[in-house]
Structure 1
Amino acid sequence: MQVLMYSVQEAISGRPRWVRTGTDICYYKSSIAAGGQKGKSYYTMTFTTSFSHKDDVCYFAYHYPYTYSTLKIYLRQDVLCETLGGNKCPLLTITAMPESNSNDHICQFTRVHPGETNASWVMKGTLEFLMGTSPLAASLRDAYIFKIVPMLNPDGVINGNHRCSLSGEDLNRQWQSPNPELHPTIYHTKSLLQYLAHIQRAPLV
């Protein structure tokens, strides 16, 4: 897969966009041990690209970026909890008003791995549809209460991690016994699911 490049010179010229670039793309297992663990290695990606402008500043990304700041542009929300880094983890509720206590819950969670920006773009489309004016969207809001955490790992996104949180752990491996201090977003999301089950409102996940 080609990487994406953002050229500052192109942006100054009125063409601010990420474009696919790169030839001779190669992924391979490197000789550097991952975290000093025997038998586990890091992987390397190499590619060749050309630059159109002299003295340009260019940025590269694996996927189209979707940052924590981008998320805040598109919505206002409740706060599920604060992260290890002191950032707010948003919790969205989408349903018809007034809210019906008899409606089933549907829970959706994304971006536990910061590098998977494509998940945020899919979630953006999901939110736009659910809050749209189509008859189908209206019928879904009438029938269900949607509880959505659109970014489970804000710290990892903000700090440019690909897989882990600030604790250096893969949050998707912490659901069994999350630590409220080290894995607050997983801990509180799991608590939300347990609460809904406790009050006989077990959600569709």
Structure 2
Amino acid sequence: MMKLRQSRVLHMLLLAVISSTFLFACADVKPLSFSLDSKKTWEDLVAEGQAALSAGKIPAAEAAFSEAVEKCSEKFGEDDARTGTCVGYLAELYRNQQEWLKAGKAYKRWMSIMDKNDPTGEQLKIIRKGYKEIRHKIKQYGLEDSDDKDKDKEKDDKGADGAASDKNKKDSSAKADEDSGEEDEE
């Protein structure tokens, strides 16, 4: 009888040791995360956007590219080349969808970022050319932003003093267009 009792005690001790080992091992397990988006890198989001675009899922592509822009902005900064790359994907999406106002804003941001990272690069020349084409489309279709229309109204209200200032702005804008190496084709 004594032997049976010792055997039970040993079994109980063994069970306690195994149980405590199991519990300590499980203590390092992190809780399950149901949000898979938080784990995605900006590269994953760009790839997801490209796949959605290839499948014709434009809203999903736009969402993925926009999230990639946000991730890069947070992680690397607004003016980082990786942020510029993500903005470029978004800009091209808008351009291909003929959403000229959105494309214009995205191109302007893309151009600004890339100008800070590689001001003499070939990519910047291509971006400037694309931006110029988009500006032409905006004017062609009369899609000027309400902000642009307000600026035009302010220009009209300025009178003669404003006219000289506007001429200087147009001259500097024309110089920027010349610097891009392209001429308007009308």
Q: Give the TM-score range, shorter chain.
A: under 0.3
Structure number with higher helix proportion = 2
TM-score for the superposition, normalised by structure 2: 0.25
Structure number with higher strand proportion = 1
TM-score for the superposition, normalised by structure 1: 0.23
Q: Which has the larger radius of gyration?
A: 2
